[in-house]
Structure 1
Amino acid sequence: MQKNIIERCDNAISSLKQEIQELKEQYEENQREIAFLSGANIKKALESFYGKSVRDDNVNVRNLQAQLLHCEQEIQFFKAVTGIEVTKYLKKTETKSEKGTTYSHKLEGHCHPVSFAMDFKTLEEQQTKSCEVIHINIHMDHEENSDLIKLLSRTQKSLNLLGFFRTLSTFAEWYEYRQRTFSQFKDKYPLAVGLPLGSSADYMVLMNSDLPGCELILVWKITINEDGSVTPLLDLLPKMPEQAIALDKSGILENLAENFKTLLQTFGLQKTIENIIQSFCINRGSD
Structure 2
Amino acid sequence: MDKSIYQAYEDEIRALEEEIRLLTEKYEDIRQESTFFSDEEILKSIKSFQGETKGQEYPSDLKAQLESLGTDLSFFMTLTGFQFTSHSKKTVEKTENRTVQKHRLSGKCHSLSFQLEFQLLEMQNNEKVSAVVSELSIVMESREDSDVSKFVSSTEEHGNLLTFFRSLSAYAEWYEHRRRTFLHFKAKYPDIVTVPEGLLGDFIILRNPKVSGFELMIVWKIHLDEEGTTTPVLDLLTKVPEQVLEQRMTSVESIPGSFRSAVRLFGIEAAIENLIKVLGSEE
Structure of higher CA gyration radius: 1
Identity of aligned residues (%): 40
Question: C-alpha separation between the residues in 1 aligned to 2:120 and 2:235?
Answer: 43
Which sections of structure 1, spanning at least 5 residues, go unmatched? 1-43, 51-61
CA shift in 2, pair 1:66/1:156, >3 Å: farther
CA shift in 2, pair 1:159/1:218, >3 Å: same
Once the two structures are superposed, what CA deviation does each residue of 1:222-266 show, in whole Å capped at 9, x if it has no partner? Answer: 1012322111111111012344333334x2222222111222233
Cross-structure match for 1:256: 255
Question: C-alpha separation between the residues in 1 aligned to 2:281 and 2:209?
Answer: 11
Cross-structure match for 1:150: 150
CA shift in 2, pair 1:74/1:131, >3 Å: farther
8 Å contact kept, 2:88–2:104:
yes
Question: C-alpha separation between the residues in 1 aligned to 2:104 and 2:68?
Answer: 23
2:32 partner letter: F
Once the two structures are superposed, what CA deviation does each residue of 1:140-178 show, in whole Å capped at 9, x if it has no partner? Answer: 111332111111111100101001111111111111110
The reply on whether 1:188 has 2:178 as its aligned counterpart is no
1:49 partner letter: Q
1:189 partner letter: Y
Q: What is the CA-CA distance between 1:98 and the residue it aligns to?
A: 5.8
- SS across alignment from 1:142: helix
TM-score after normalising by structure 2: 0.73
Q: What is the CA-CA distance between 1:80 and the residue it aligns to?
A: 2.2
CA shift in 2, pair 1:69/1:164, >3 Å: same
The reply on whether 1:272 has 2:255 as its aligned counterpart is no
Cross-structure match for 2:93: 95
Which sections of structure 2, spanning at least 5 residues, go unmatched? 1-26, 34-58
CA shift in 2, pair 1:135/1:72, >3 Å: farther
Question: C-alpha separation between the residues in 2 aligned to 1:143 and 1:172?
Answer: 13
CA shift in 2, pair 1:67/1:124, >3 Å: farther
Once the two structures are superposed, what CA deviation does each residue of 1:18-67 show, in whole Å capped at 9, x if it has no partner? Answer: xxxxxxxxxxxxxxxxxxxxxxxxxx6599539xxxxxxxxxxx999987
TM-score after normalising by structure 1: 0.72
The reply on whether 1:166 has 2:149 as its aligned counterpart is no
- SS across alignment from 1:211: coil
- SS across alignment from 2:274: helix
Question: C-alpha separation between the residues in 1 aligned to 2:138 and 2:227?
Answer: 18
Q: What's the C-alpha RMSD, in Å, of the aligned pairs?
A: 2.8
8 Å contact kept, 2:29–2:91:
no
Q: What is the CA-CA distance between 1:219 and the residue it aligns to?
A: 0.6
1:254 partner letter: E
Q: What is the CA-CA distance between 1:126 and the residue it aligns to?
A: 4.0
1:121 partner letter: Q
- SS across alignment from 1:226: coil
